[in-house]
Amino acid sequence: MSTIIIADLRAKDSVTNKDTVAGGYGSRFRADSAITHFAKHMRRVFLNLPSIHVGYLAAIFASAGHNVNITRDDRPVNGDLALVLTSLVDYKHERAWGEAARARGLRVGFFGAPATHLPELFNGAGDFIISGEPEAAALRLAAGEDLRGLVLSPAINDLDTLPFPRWDLIRTRRFAHTNFTGLSLKRAFPMLTSRSCPEHCTYCPHRITASFRARSVASVVAEMAELEALYPGCHIKIRDPLFTLDRERCFQIAEAIRARGLRITFECETRMDDLDEKLIRAMHAAGLREISFGVETPDPETLRRVARRFIPPEHMRKMVALCWELGIATVGFYVIGFLQDTEKSIEGLIRFACELDTTYANFKILTPYPGTPQYKQLKPLIFETDWEKFDGYTLTFNHPVLTPKRARLMLGMAFSRYIARPSQVVNWLGLHRYSRHPLVQRADGWTWRKQDYLDRSWLAQRKVTA
């Protein structure tokens, strides 16, 4: 029996999400204005979730009889083997932690998307680097095998054979979750009901490590039942990039949750064109309380160029309105910095996001992640040599119109114009029925003009572009 250390390290100077975010490369959110500082603190509190693969590895080693110690800080820990979850946005910190652990006599290995696609970042810092989804390699380690160098870890096709993540082995503060009806703290846990993504968006890294596979309905609901038994009334964050891909499977999961009387709530991420009223109502009856979906940009030609299917705005508005009616929070994802973007088109995107009226919105700057088709396309334009800057919020390539500073200013504009609207405050207070009142809409217009006035120093420098 060995003592296994699994390191899921917190970043020190920002809000960093790893594991299933950006296909495992992670994101790092830094604040540079009053509004983005507010968004940063909200993320720190309400996106406080453990990493999904850490839970799976903990289960594999515990099932084999090993002691498991999961750490999230830099304090020295003793054990026999340390496995470090890697991210692109905090890899220097993770590498340094591995070197220090190795100096104390631990065997050290690295796993995750950066370890898979950029293993050279961790050469010399540990004894081995796992390439691929880590569970197959973890099973070999748990059986006593001594791994060295670059270790190929093939994806496990039958996901039902994996043990459920062991969240009880993670010593954490109370996880938090909220929705628009008011502040409600409850334990929240991530879940994967499938892996990879069947879509072909050129900028997305979710599908570059392994092919798409889905768990059975019985396996998904059994894990939900186990979580509900351990943590009554918990909230489950389903991290699949496209949860509603299989419509019939979603209906079966919803029906099974209701049949077993599970008192859970859950959220999912999907495409809005895979949703309709019947499916949303069925999932809501089973506990659905939040839907996240990618809009990226309202321009259909830009979407076509990155191989993403266009979703009619009318359908999105209809689904968002239904979610408000049912009490389901919605989160829209938007991307700034496509090659076709200008500052004027980005302002149009921000206005579209405000008009779509989702509960929340997240704006990011286009990032060419290694391993994606877009990385190959933009490689001649990439000027950034620090991989930690590939964080989802920094421009890393020579854009036809935007400079890194202007992109950052437009990102700040997106967050400030979206969050600081009086109608958004009304929504967060649970008074959505008043958010479209003429007086509130007039206040929204005044707020936009006031922010234009406050931003006049850099808006006046805008270049005239085609």
Give the end of a domain, one of 159, 193, 213. 159
Whichever domain contains 341, its CATH number is 3.80.30.20
Q: Are residues 123 and 259 in the same domain?
A: no
Give the end of a domain, one of 159, 184, 207. 159
Of residues 159 and 185, more confidently modeled: 159
- Which pLDDT band holds residue 429 (cuts at 50, 70, 90)? confident
Does residue 167 fall inside a structural domain?
A: no
Q: Are residues 298 and 432 in the same domain?
A: yes
On the question of pLDDT at 35 being above 90, the answer is no
Does residue 165 fall inside a structural domain?
A: no
Q: What is the pLDDT of residue 106?
A: 96
On the question of pLDDT at 428 being above 90, the answer is no
Q: What is the pLDDT of residue 45?
A: 64
79-99 pLDDT, tens digit per residue, is 999 999 999 999 999 999 999
Does residue 405 fall inside a structural domain?
A: yes
409-420 pLDDT, tens digit per residue, is 999 999 999 999
Give the end of a domain, one of 159, 183, 215. 159
39-94 pLDDT, tens digit per residue, is 766 666 666 788 899 999 999 999 999 999 999 889 999 999 999 999 999 999 99
Q: What is the pLDDT of residue 181?
A: 36
Q: Are residues 218 and 283 in the same domain?
A: yes
Q: Are residues 145 and 252 in the same domain?
A: no
Lowest mean pLDDT among 54-63, 159-168, 202-211: 202-211
Q: What is the pLDDT of residue 177?
A: 40
Mean pLDDT of the chain: 91
On the question of pLDDT at 37 being above 90, the answer is no
Q: How many domains does the chain have?
A: 2
Distance in angstroms between the alpha carbons of the first and the last residue of the chain: 66
Whichever domain contains 64, its CATH number is 3.40.50.280
Q: Are residues 258 and 402 in the same domain?
A: yes
Q: Are residues 132 and 229 in the same domain?
A: no
Lowest mean pLDDT among 160-174, 259-273, 397-411, 452-466: 452-466
Does residue 29 fall inside a structural domain?
A: yes
On the question of pLDDT at 233 being above 70, the answer is yes
Share of the chain above pLDDT 90, in %: 78
Q: What is the pLDDT of residue 160?
A: 97
Q: Are residues 269 and 304 in the same domain?
A: yes
245-291 pLDDT, tens digit per residue, is 999 999 999 999 999 999 999 999 999 999 999 999 999 999 999 99
Does residue 164 fall inside a structural domain?
A: no
Does residue 168 fall inside a structural domain?
A: no
- Which pLDDT band holds residue 188 (cuts at 50, 70, 90)? confident
Domain residues for the domain of 44 are 3-159
- Secondary structure string (H, E, C) spanning the chain: CCEEEEECCCCCCCEEECCCHHHHCCEEECCCCHHHHHHHHHHHHHCCCCCHHHHHHHHHHHHCCCEEEEECCCCCCCCCEEEEECCCCCHHHHHHHHHHHHHCCCEEEEECHHHHHCHHHHCCCCCEEEECCCHHHHHHHHCCCCCCEEEECCCCCCHHHCCCCCHHHCCCCCCCCCECCECCCCCEEEECCEECCCCCCCCCCCCCCCCCEECCHHHHHHHHHHHHHHCCCCEEEECCCCHHHCHHHHHHHHHHHHHCCCCCEEEEEECHHHCCHHHHHHHHHHCEEEEEEEEECCCHHHHHHCCCCCCCHHHHHHHHHHHHHHCCEEEEEEEECCCCCCHHHHHHHHHHHHHHCCCEEEEEECCCCCCCHHHHHHHHHECCCCHHHCCCCCCCECCCCCCHHHHHHHHHHHHHHHHCCHHHHHHHCCCHHHCCCHHHHHHHHHHHHHHHHHCHHHHCCCCCCC
Q: Are residues 203 and 232 in the same domain?
A: yes
Share of the chain above pLDDT 70, in %: 94
- Which pLDDT band holds residue 11 (cuts at 50, 70, 90)? confident
On the question of pLDDT at 137 being above 60, the answer is yes
Q: Are residues 110 and 233 in the same domain?
A: no
On the question of pLDDT at 344 being above 80, the answer is yes
Q: Are residues 289 and 334 in the same domain?
A: yes
Q: What is the pLDDT of residue 281?
A: 98
- Which pLDDT band holds residue 180 (cuts at 50, 70, 90)? very low
Q: What is the pLDDT of residue 430?
A: 85
Does residue 72 fall inside a structural domain?
A: yes
Does residue 399 fall inside a structural domain?
A: yes
Q: Are residues 449 and 396 in the same domain?
A: yes
Q: Are residues 87 and 178 in the same domain?
A: no
On the question of pLDDT at 176 being above 50, the answer is no
